[in-house]
């Protein structure tokens, strides 16, 4: 399916307008300190920034030879890695809502969420609850044999809903295969996500209808697609941005490094959103990098920010800032949402083989949904009636998803052989015949 650029649909604001600037014109803003770090790392960058006074010390550290702080969540003794599951001691972690549900101030980002009403806050909570309910139903359906595979987002709801709600309709989203919450924010029907995992379609939605690309299974390749699309957006002169999602494991892929290079050199209006859920299947983050992931952006000449990925308000604020920065011609940003994958990598994975229960328990105390609920209750922004109604809506969504999947046709077991070669191949023909004989054996009782 051809993805048409939506850039030309809305003309970009002229250089003299309130927010628009030429993407190659130097600009000075009061952006958060991460911009200043990138500027210090590359003095000749086109987009110069001025850090707030409260964070100039961070900028100064970035420009000196002082060793970088050890990544939060790790400690090493006698060659052994001891995971401390994120103690919260990272001074660069952007947080607006603590795990205990208390609102904390942040001078750099508060104004991005200052206009949120109680209705808006309840909406964010509803988004996370319904996304988790859909995700749980999909996992159950896979266990019942209705889906071939499922990649759960359990624990990452705040990272996805916060960033998804920060986008505008004319922004373009490039997901991986786990962005079910972002799809929800882009008005993709949840049942459309399941056809591919059942094997009855190759995606299930038109990416041009919602500016939400099809799921990408190949690790990291969507960052290159996003960068190229963003370069096209810039050439078309559109006032929109692109956001690319990927995980901590994908950050080790060459495709991601190449996309960082192109985006930086061409000042592409793209936000790289990394959901660091601590594990690349069974490989922990500290086996992939010796510095926090967000600091990698400095080497490419653009800012990186680490945000509490279980804090939906902080994620919303940071992503809004990064997207506005892209739209105004200041180039790419790397956002590292520091979160945790509560479940398995996919339903074919067994996380008990490589991580301990106490690690999961420590992160359960930071649950993004429980955190926002505590805040809503303590602020008198939601009552028991709201939560009861949402529970009813959640169960209705689960039933709808079950019924939709069970109504889908069974996948054609021979379809895999049909499009391997355009003109056919003797080996594929032989494999098809072998598979047909194997299937037929069940009818004869031989394969039972």
The answer to whether the CB of 250 falls within 8 A of the CB of 219 is yes
Beta pairing partners, 275: 247, 337
Q: CA 406 from chain center: how many Å?
A: 29
Dist. CA 290–CA 302, nearest whole Å: 19
Catalytic option among 338, 341, 371, 375: 341
Spatial neighbors of 140 by CB under 8 A, at least 6 apart, are: none
Which residue in the list 111, 287, 290, 354 is annotated as catalytic?
Answer: 354
The H-assigned helical ranges of 77-169 are 118-143, 157-164
Query: Cα dist. 424→29, 258, 412, 428, 433 in Å?
Result: 59, 35, 18, 7, 14
Query: 109 an active-site residue?
Result: no
The rounded distance, in Å, linking the Cα atoms of 448 and 443 is 9
Closest by CA position to 361, among listed 60, 86, 53: 86
Give catalytic status of residue 229 as yes or no.
Answer: no
Active site includes 345?
Answer: yes
Of 132, 327, 345, 371, catalytic: 345
Contacts for 426 with CB less than 8 Å, ≥ 6 apart = none
Q: Which residues are catalytic?
A: 341, 345, 354
């Amino acid at each position: 399916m051809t993805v048409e650029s939506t850039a030309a649909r809305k003309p970009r604001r002229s250089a003299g307008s309130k927010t628009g600037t030429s993407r190659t014109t130097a600009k000075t803003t009061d952006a958060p300190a991460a911009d200043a770090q990138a500027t210090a790392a590359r003095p000749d960058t086109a987009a110069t920034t001025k850090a707030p006074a409260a964070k100039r010390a961070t900028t100064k550290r970035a420009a000196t030879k002082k060793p970088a702080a050890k990544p939060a969540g790790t400690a090493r003794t006698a060659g052994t890695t001891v995971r401390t599951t994120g103690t919260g001691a990272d001074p660069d972690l952007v947080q607006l809502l603590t795990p205990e549900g208390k609102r904390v101030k942040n001078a750099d980002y508060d104004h991005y969420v200052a206009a949120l009403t109680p209705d808006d806050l309840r909406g964010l909570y509803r988004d996370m609850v319904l996304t988790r309910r859909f995700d749980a139903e999909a996992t159950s359906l896979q266990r019942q044999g209705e889906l071939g595979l499922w990649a759960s987002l359990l624990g990452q709801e705040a990272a996805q809903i916060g960033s998804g709600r920060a986008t505008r309709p004319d922004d373009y989203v490039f997901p991986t295969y786990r962005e079910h919450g972002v799809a929800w924010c882009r008005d993709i029907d949840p049942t459309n996500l399941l056809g591919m995992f059942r094997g009855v379609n190759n995606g299930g939605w038109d990416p041009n209808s919602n500016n939400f690309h099809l799921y990408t299974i190949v690790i990291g390749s969507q960052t290159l697609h996003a960068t190229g699309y963003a370069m096209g957006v810039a050439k078309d002169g559109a006032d929109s941005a692109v956001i690319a999602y990927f995980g901590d494991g994908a950050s080790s892929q060459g495709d991601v490094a190449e996309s960082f290079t192109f985006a930086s050199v061409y000042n592409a209006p793209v936000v790289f959103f990394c959901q660091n859920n601590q594990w690349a299947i069974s490989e922990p983050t500290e086996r992939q990098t010796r510095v926090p992931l967000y600091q990698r952006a400095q080497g490419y000449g653009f800012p990186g920010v680490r945000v509490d990925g279980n804090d939906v308000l902080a994620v919303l604020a940071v992503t809004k800032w990064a997207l506005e920065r892209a739209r105004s011609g200041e180039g790419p940003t790397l956002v590292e949402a520091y979160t945790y994958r509560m479940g398995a990598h996919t339903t074919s994975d067994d996380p008990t083989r490589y991580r301990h229960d106490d690690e999961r328990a420590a992160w359960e105390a930071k649950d993004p949904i429980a955190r926002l609920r505590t805040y809503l209750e303590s602020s008198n922004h939601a009552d028991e009636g709201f939560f009861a109604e949402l529970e009813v809506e959640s169960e209705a969504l689960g039933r709808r998803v079950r019924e939709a999947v069970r109504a889908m046709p069974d996948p054609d077991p021979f379809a895999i052989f049909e499009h391997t070669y355009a003109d056919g191949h003797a080996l594929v023909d032989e494999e098809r015949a072998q598979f047909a004989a194997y299937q037929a054996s069940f009818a004869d009782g031989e394969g039972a």
